[in-house]
Structure 1
Amino acid sequence: MNRLTFLVSCFFVVLGVSACKTTTGANNQKETTLRVMSYNIRHGNPPSKPKFIDLDATIAVIRQQNPDLVALQEVDVHTKRSGGVDQAKIIAEKLGMYYFFGKALDYDGGDYGVAILSKFPLLDAQVVALPILEGTNAELRALALAAVQLPNGQKIWIGSTHLDEKGNPANRLAQLDAIAKVQATLKEPFLIAGDFNATPGSESIQRLDALFTRTCQDCAPTFPVINSTKAIDFIAYTPAARFTVKSHLVIQETYASDHLPIVAELGLK
């Protein structure tokens, strides 16, 4: 069964103070610095505490990094296992950020999916359902997509996604092909971040690299959280000429989730 549909599901909160900076570099070209974070939050459940939800720990990890834009994966909204709360809304409100939740599937009486947080207004937010191949018994996946209105008037796009984990690269390739179709419709710069469930050198990441430029090439591992061996979480951008990578970090925070968060500082020309 091949699923590729477009749904709209928008949720926003009031913005805090912007931390975005604009500078003038070589050739008098203005450059806006953006701090971008990607974090698979494991629905706020620390691996060391089964069935315990510690969303405050997740929020503390994000707050410490002070990102302008965040892509979250494995977010629960109104599920029984997470106490029936809207995790995307709570995280955003406590951080003073706009947010958008993208549902991937029904789960445990609620919704499960990905989310975007932003210090800047979000526009044209939508959920793109990603395809799964018939017979693979894979979970539904989604791309949360939103335009970001920067303080200088520029508009960029950000996407948060979580690709198939079942070990079937054909699903991930189909999902990346769906993302490529979305990318082809966008005129402004596009950032994508998330848990791609594939490592550099794999066919899936080679496909990602054909579409975007990752903020790291020799990427440090992000999973599992203890004694990490695999780099599967990435931030990437297009077009390459519009961005410079000032830094890329894997944050060594081992309590709140089973993934290490990543943060990249980008210059947007």
Structure 2
Amino acid sequence: MKLKYCLLLALVLTSLNLLAQKADTITVVSYNIHHGNPPAKPGLIDLDAIANVLANQKPDFVALQEVDVNINRSGNINQAEYLAKKLNMYFYFAKAIDHDGGDYGVAILSKYPILEQHTLKFSRIEGVKAEDRVLAIVSVKLANGKKVAFGSTHLDHQKDEALRLLQISEIVKYAEKEKGTFIIAGDFNAVPNSATIQFLDKNFTRTCNQCGFTIPVVTPKRTIDFIAFKPSRKISVSSHEVIQEHQASDHLPIVAKIIIK
């Protein structure tokens, strides 16, 4: 009887261990880096400060916004590549517009090799003057073999929501093509009770409900930065928080731990 009990216990423990091995907890960070320029120090570019903030979180994925690539104002360097090398991560940059001799847009840093990469350029509204905006998407395989698609975006900033609603609808339409796990993060330039975020919430699950303020960096009073994923019974949120870094950029970064079975 004792031997049977021991064998049963060993079987249960083995099963639990196998189940644990089939789940991965990933750390996702979203950060509008203001091209590496601390607002309190005009003209200064301090990418190392950004890198230190990110390194402290030990991220699996990072969504970056307001990234310069070979732009005069920031020293003609590829900021996405610089941060990736600092953090020993892979990267993908998605250009939104030409700016000051170079390219300006969003980027993704990934702990895992990038298998596929794509830029979704959002549509424009005729007669509305605005910067072009994009969604950067990469696909990777996690340690448990699960394929994950991850996106970084920066939606329109104007008071009128028309462009943001168009952009979020195009993200949702793209997400319908992704059959597996799809996580997006970024600066949505919209607060939780806006039509933009309400539309997001109908199609994605945010990693926070009562989300902490992310802007302005000194005495923040609005939440416009979010992490979200396509609803799935195989995905849950372990934690979400606003990182209290008030010097490196004009946004506070956010971090979430997501469990993928």
Give me the whole-angstrom Cα distance separating, in 2, the residues matched to 1:161 and 1:132.
Answer: 16
Q: Is the 8 A contact 2:80 2:93 kept in 1?
A: yes
Q: Is the 8 A contact 2:24 2:143 kept in 1?
A: no
Secondary structure (helix, strand or coil) at the match of 2:128 reads coil
| Counterpart check, 1:41 vs 2:33 | yes
Q: Which residue of structure 2 aligns with residue 212 of structure 1?
A: 204
Q: Is the 8 A contact 1:211 1:238 kept in 2?
A: yes
For each residue in 1:130-178, what CA deviation from the matched residue of structure 2 results, as whole angstroms up to 9, or x when unmatched? 1231222111100000101112221110000000001120100100111
Q: Which residue of structure 1 aligns with residue 233 of structure 2?
A: 241
Secondary structure (helix, strand or coil) at the match of 2:201 reads helix
Secondary structure (helix, strand or coil) at the match of 1:216 reads coil
Give me the whole-angstrom Cα distance separating, in 2, the residues matched to 1:81 and 1:113.
Answer: 15
1:56-135 to 2 correspondences below 5 Å: 56-135=48-127
Give me the whole-angstrom Cα distance separating, in 2, the residues matched to 1:50 and 1:63.
Answer: 24
Q: Is the 8 A contact 1:24 1:30 kept in 2?
A: no
Alpha carbons of 1:182 and 1:24: their partners in 2 closer, same or farther (altered >3 Å)? farther
Q: Which residue of structure 2 aligns with residue 201 of structure 1?
A: 193
Q: Which residue of structure 2 aligns with residue 265 of structure 1?
A: 257
For each residue in 1:247-267, what CA deviation from the matched residue of structure 2 results, as whole angstroms up to 9, or x when unmatched? 001001000000000000110
Secondary structure (helix, strand or coil) at the match of 2:157 reads coil
- What amino acid does structure 2 have at the position aligned with 1:91? L
Q: Which residue of structure 1 aligns with residue 142 of structure 2?
A: 150
Alpha carbons of 1:219 and 1:49: their partners in 2 closer, same or farther (altered >3 Å)? same
For each residue in 1:71-107, what CA deviation from the matched residue of structure 2 results, as whole angstroms up to 9, or x when unmatched? 0000000001111000000000111000000111111
Provide TM-score, normalisation by structure 2: 0.91
Identical pairs, percent: 53
For each residue in 1:185-227, what CA deviation from the matched residue of structure 2 results, as whole angstroms up to 9, or x when unmatched? 1111100000000000110000111111000011110000010
Q: Between Structure 1 and Structure 2, which shows a larger proportion of helix residues?
A: 2
Provide TM-score, normalisation by structure 1: 0.89
Give me the whole-angstrom Cα distance separating, in 2, the residues matched to 1:70 and 1:248.
Answer: 14
Aligned-residue Cα RMSD (Å) equals 1.6
Q: Which residue of structure 1 aligns with residue 222 of structure 2?
A: 230
How far apart are 1:65 and its partner, in Å?
1.0
Aligned structure 1 segments of 4 or more residues deviating by more than 4 angstroms? 23-29
Give unpaired runs (5+ residues) of structure 1.
1-22
How far apart are 1:29 and its partner, in Å?
8.4
Q: Which residue of structure 1 aligns with residue 5 of structure 2?
A: none
Secondary structure (helix, strand or coil) at the match of 1:172 reads helix
Secondary structure (helix, strand or coil) at the match of 2:185 reads strand
Higher Cα radius of gyration: 2
Q: Is the 8 A contact 1:220 1:250 kept in 2?
A: yes
Give unpaired runs (5+ residues) of structure 2.
1-14
Q: Is the 8 A contact 1:129 1:143 kept in 2?
A: yes
Give me the whole-angstrom Cα distance separating, in 1, the residues matched to 2:83 and 2:119.
Answer: 19
Secondary structure (helix, strand or coil) at the match of 2:73 reads coil
Alpha carbons of 1:46 and 1:146: their partners in 2 closer, same or farther (altered >3 Å)? same
